[in-house]
């Protein structure tokens, strides 16, 4: 290790960076969260070097003991990171050398910080992906519970934010479980993309030492070894995959948050958010604001910005490693942290909110949402659908002018609009019947929603089993 005030490359230079350059060039404030992965990678590397006869077994033992001591100190908040060390790798290696002497200086044999940081970041990305997968699963479970405990609640469905057709509240909640199932798959893909060992690629061209990369991969739990050293040290696709998964996941949470914000308003009144997930006003005593849902919606912009920042950082970089790659972690970490916190917040809001069933049903009776069923009835009796559409459109217009609903009409009034309407025509506008008639696979009929609920549980079970298997490795 270099002497205090010197850099690892001081032999080549006649001057060292000043305080500003050290601060500007340091990644330590961001990458120090990689400490556990850095220590795990270094221990695996030292063990391999000893097995291969590159360093003495006694040195490897001293290195491992020293690193475990440093790990304990960091986790006990008894370790001081010095910005002069530039990054987490040098901070740990410098302290290791202070503790065990020359053996610590041998740890960096057959590796570069280029493949070291790539390894640490991949290890961390895998762990972050599993944590996100757990958060997604918890939110899916909350949505499934809502659907299961409110199986018969009818609410208005919307297009263009205008009342369209009645649906079951359970159907609406399950729609989000399928979004989240896709989010889980994206996080799972990011995990698999990160599950490749780059260590052993050294700076860019590999190493002259007789290392055993497969043994290191096995010890660190990687399922594969990178096949090209140039690509290995410069590849950050796995971080893009993870950040993209977070970004699209946040977009989905933002859509759900928007609905909670609307539904909890006085104009809708479909749900009441728990006081613990609401805030008040500093001036208006009556206010109860959905601030946490609004924050989820607002934080989505951060994730979008993080993805953009990472993509722009990678754009146009020649092979292999470039200092630009130091800027890869901050946006990725921020996207992960934002998404993880937002998943927790949404699960908290959904699991504690009250569903106002009567208000939802009341909303489903307005807006002429059975109009399509009246047109369908005429179509089944031989009226061309476009003509049936026009007939019912006139009925809706008359009702709107008179301040009436379709349910207020009499059989005679319907027959006056079309002779094809019979005495049973009013059954077409019964809200429960309207819902029940949507009996195609994936539709909102009660039996179909119950079927979908089973599928959602099964999908969550499969994903949870995959997650448990990874966590048990």
* Residues taking part in catalysis: 160, 281
User: Which pairs from 76-83 meet CB under 8 Å and 24+ separation?
Assistant: 81/28, 81/32, 83/22, 83/23, 83/26, 83/28, 83/29
SS (H, E, C) the chain: CCCCCCCCCHHHCCCCCCHHHHHHHCCHHHHHHHHHHHHHHHHHHHHHHHHCCCCCHHHHHHHHHHHHHHHHHHHCCCCCCCHHHCCHHHHHHHHHHHHHCHHHHCCCCCCCHHHHHHHHHHHHHHHHHHHHHHHHHHHHHHHHHHHHHCCCCEEEEEECCEEEEEEEHHHHHHHHHHHHHHHHHHHHHHHHHHCEECCCCCCCCCCCCCCCHHHHHHHHCCCEECCCHHHHHHCCHHHHHHHHHHHHHHHHHHHHHHHHHHHCCCCCCCEECCHHHCECCCCCCCCCECHHHHHHHHHHHHHHHHHHHHHHHHCCCCCCCCHHHHHHHHHHHHHHHHHHHHHHHHHHHHHHCEECHHHHHHHHHCCCCCHHHHHHHHHHCCCCHHHHHHHHHHHHHHHHHHCCCHHHCCHHHHHHHCCCCCCCHHHHHCHHHHHHCCCCCCCCCHHHHHHHHHHHHHHHHHHHHHHHHHHHC
| C-alpha dist (Å) from residue 211 to 50, 111, 228 | 10, 10, 15
| C-alpha dist (Å) from residue 97 to 53, 60, 86, 115 | 21, 13, 16, 21
Backbone angles phi, psi at 358, to 5 degrees: -65, -40
User: Which pairs from 317-322 meet CB under 8 Å and 24+ separation?
Assistant: 317/234, 319/204, 319/230, 319/231, 319/234, 320/114, 320/203, 320/204, 320/229, 320/230, 320/231, 320/233, 320/234, 321/114, 321/203, 321/204, 321/233, 321/234, 322/234
């Amino acid at each position: 290790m270099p002497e205090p005030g010197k850099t690892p490359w001081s032999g080549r230079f006649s001057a060292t960076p000043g305080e500003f350059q050290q601060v500007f060039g340091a990644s330590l404030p961001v990458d120090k969260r990689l400490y556990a992965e850095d220590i795990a990678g270094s221990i695996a590397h030292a063990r391999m070097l000893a097995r291969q006869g590159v360093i003495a077994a006694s040195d490897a033992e001293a290195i491992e003991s020293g690193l475990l001591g440093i790990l304990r100190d960091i986790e006990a908040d008894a370790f001081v990171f010095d910005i002069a060390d530039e990054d987490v790798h040098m901070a740990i290696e410098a302290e290791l050398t202070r503790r065990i002497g020359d053996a610590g200086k041998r740890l960096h044999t057959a590796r570069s910080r280029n493949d070291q940081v790539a390894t640490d970041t991949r290890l961390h990305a895998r762990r972050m992906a599993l944590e996100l997968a757990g958060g997604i699963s918890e939110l899916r479970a909350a949505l499934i519970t809502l659907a299961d405990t409110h199986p018969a609640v009818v609410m208005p469905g919307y297009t263009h934010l205008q009342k369209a057709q009645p649906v079951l509240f359970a159907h609406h909640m399950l729609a989000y479980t399928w979004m989240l199932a896709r989010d889980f798959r994206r996080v799972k893909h990011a995990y698999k993309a990160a599950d490749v060992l780059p260590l052993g690629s050294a700076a860019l061209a590999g190493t002259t030492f007789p290392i055993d990369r497969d043994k290191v991969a096995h010890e660190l739990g990687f399922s594969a070894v990178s096949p090209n050293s140039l690509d290995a040290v410069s590849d950050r696709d796995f971080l893009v995959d993870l950040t993209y998964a977070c970004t699209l996941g946040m977009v989905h949470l933002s859509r759900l948050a928007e609905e909670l914000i609307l539904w909890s308003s006085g104009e809708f009144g479909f749900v009441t958010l728990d006081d613990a997930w609401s805030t008040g006003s500093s001036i208006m005593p009556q206010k109860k604001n959905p601030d946490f849902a609004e924050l989820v919606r607002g934080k989505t912009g951060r994730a979008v910005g993080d993805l953009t920042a990472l993509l722009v950082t990678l754009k146009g970089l020649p092979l292999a490693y470039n200092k630009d790659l130091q800027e890869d972690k901050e946006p990725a970490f921020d996207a992960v942290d934002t998404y993880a916190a937002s998943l927790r917040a949404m699960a908290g809001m959904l699991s504690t909110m009250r569903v106002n069933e009567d208000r939802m049903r009341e909303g489903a009776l307005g807006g002429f949402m059975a109009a399509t069923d009246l047109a369908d009835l005429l179509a089944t009796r031989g009226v061309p659908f476009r003509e049936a559409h026009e007939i019912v459109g006139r009925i809706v217009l008359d009702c709107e002018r008179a301040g009436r609903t379709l349910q207020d009409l009499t059989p005679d009034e319907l027959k006056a609009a079309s002779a094809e309407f019979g005495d049973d025509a009013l059954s077409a506008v019964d809200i429960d019947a309207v819902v029940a008639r949507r009996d195609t696979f994936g539709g909102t009929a009660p039996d179909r929603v119950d079927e979908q609920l089973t599928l959602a549980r099964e999908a969550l079970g499969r994903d949870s089993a995959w997650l448990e298997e990874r966590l048990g490795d």
